[in-house]
Amino acid sequence: MLFEENWLKIISWPKKLIAPIWPRTGYVEVVMHHCEDCVYLLKDETTRCIFKDEEGRGRCSHPMVVLDFEVKKDSQGRPIVNIKCGCCEYGALSKRGIENGI
């Protein structure tokens, strides 16, 4: 956990420099896939259940989603995702790979 907090501080200043050329993750909230099945959806460390805030939204731990400027973040810099109807390119790709036996 300490490493993650330090990493978010380290990457905060270069993000501003490379924002115009940085790739986007394609996170949207109207797709047939959803974050609920994603391996990158954060889980509560004590209960091992999916972490949900007061609004029922989860947090993503995929490094590219953390770096994506277009995805809303919480006060700790973690991407806020809609568990039921949100998905990014990485989640959709990993699900397609599982469905195709890759």
Q: Which residue range(s) make up the domain with 34?
A: 2-99
Whole-structure pTM over 0.85, yes or no?
no
What would the pLDDT profile of 18-42 be if each residue is shown by its tens digit?
Answer: 555 666 777 878 767 788 878 888 8
Residue 96: the pLDDT is 47
Which regions in the chain score pLDDT beneath 70? 1-23, 31, 92-102
Residue 33: the pLDDT is 72
Residue 90: the pLDDT is 77
Q: How many domains does the chain have?
A: 1
Residue 57: the pLDDT is 93
Find out whether 35 and 60 touch, Cβ atoms under 8 Å: yes
Residue 38: the pLDDT is 84
> What average pLDDT is seen over the chain?
75
